[in-house]
Structure 1
Amino acid sequence: MSEANSNSEFQTFIEQENQKAAIQAAISKLTETCWDKCVGKPGSKLDRAESECIANCAERFLDSSSFIMQRLMKKQ
């Protein structure tokens, strides 16, 4: 295996790991934001209103993130 090929594979690995980390950070932010917004007093399970709120919050968060990414890509 050539050194250039090895460096290319390493770069690809690093990029993939960075993408994984970014996805994990986004999921963590989504969870924190929606939980804080929708759950007042945690119980043994979510009630219907909390569950619907979390679902709506997650959808809005993902829609907003997608919109922002599309706008950034258009500017480049």
Structure 2
Amino acid sequence: MSDYSSQYNLGGDAGLSNKKQEVMDQVRSELALANAQELINKINEKCYLKCVPKPGARLESGEQQCLSKCMDRYMEAWNVISRSYVSRLQREQGQMGGM
């Protein structure tokens, strides 16, 4: 293959495959970022409402402890759900591949 065609991935499936993988990796990265942002937003929303009934200039120690425990529980639940969802997707993909 000439330098020109290899530079622009002309005439080869390898270039297309590499580009497809790059796009897939970028989509995965963007989804991971979106999931992390959603997790943070939900933690802020749920835990703040639960633990800080009367917002003031600073957090009281009980509010800080409540926020810490709430965030830990929320992230733990998020991880359990995420693992379960990924496992389900993998099972369904395996069943579709077996057809």
Question: TM-score, normalised on structure 2?
Answer: 0.66
> Structure 1 residue runs of 4+, over 3 Å off?
69-76
Structure 2 alignment gaps of length 5 or more: 1-8, 10-14, 92-99
Aligned length: 76
1:8–1:67 distance in 2 versus 1, CA, 3 Å: closer
Query: 1: CA distance between counterparts of 2:28 and 2:86?
Result: 18
Query: 1: CA distance between counterparts of 2:24 and 2:83?
Result: 25
Question: TM-score, normalised on structure 1?
Answer: 0.83
- What is the CA distance between 1:73 and its match in structure 2? 5.0
- What is the CA distance between 1:4 and its match in structure 2? 2.1
Tell me which structure has the larger Cα radius of gyration: 2
Output the aligned Cα RMSD: 1.7
Which has the higher relative contact order, 1 or 2, with Cα contacts under 8 A spaced 6 or more apart? 1
